[in-house]
Amino acid sequence: MQFNGPMMKNFLLFALLVAAFGGSAQRIHGYAKAKIAGQEAFQLNDSTEVFAERTERGFTVRKRVWVANSSLSGGVIMPGSSLFNERGEVIGQTLGADVTLMGAQPATERKLRKYQVGTVEGEVRATALQAGSWPEEALAELLNAKRSRPFWEDAEVFFKDYGFAELEATDLPEALAEGGYKAFILMRRDASNQANPRFRILVVTRGESAVQSIVLEGSALELPKFKVVEKVDFGTIMHAQKPTPAYKEGLEELAYRNIPLE
């Protein structure tokens, strides 16, 4: 695939965001042991960020990891092997079950040349994930809270704690940039071995005064003050006020910019 100027710029923006921010948000307890077919499969360090999806019995968790070539056999990670992050730091280990390194490919990092990178997947109970580590729930709590101090004091803490990146004004569509809006993005990491994941949450604020719109990969949040809710092909858009056509078009353009190219 060939990239034109704007496409290449978007690709580079993805790369910078992925390098700088975690973005998975759910954090797993160190005592939790992910299982495969009922057998203990792997364990991650306390507070390691994972991607989690709810199931009938708990959650499926995934984590993008780097594994030494010597620990792999036919795409399966041998029990007792260390799991690393992109900096070469140990973040966990495999246990008794065979763990497939999904989407495995050679690592490109200089210090990890003899490694493969891919994702591991297992099942955990709800208690394995730390309370308060769900960004959607925290965002709803932030916006529904009664305030005795400026909104931005709490908003800045939220964006930092959950790994949101603020987009530069030069990276915003014209309608958003000229309107003085700010945009914050949380990337969807660890769900697959994609180097350029899609967004999970986009938050657009009116400067530092309030949130104007939220774009969600999933369903709408319980936000009584947000009267305009739109279901779109890439997720859900919620507006605190009815948007102008130009603003709406700019917001959708921003969302599409942050969805991986197929």
Q: pLDDT (tens digit, 9 = 90+) per residue, 83-106?
A: 999 999 999 999 999 999 999 999
Within 10 A of 223 (CB to CB), how many other CB atoms are there?
16
CA distance 260 to 196: 6
137-151, 166-180, 186-200: the lowest-pLDDT one: 186-200
Task: Supply the pTM of this predicted model.
Answer: 0.75
pLDDT of 6 over the 60 cut: no
Q: Delimit the domains of the chain by residue range.
A: 26-128, 135-257
> What pLDDT is stored for residue 8 in this prediction?
39
Residue whose C-alpha is closest to residue 45's, from 72, 24, 63: 63
261 to 35, 172, 258: CA distances (angstroms)? 33, 18, 9
Residue type at 190 in one-letter notation: D
- DSSP assignment, residue 157? H
Q: How many helices (H) and strands (E) does the chain have?
A: 5, 18
> Tens digit of pLDDT for each residue in 152-164?
999 999 999 888 9
- pLDDT mean over 74-81: 96
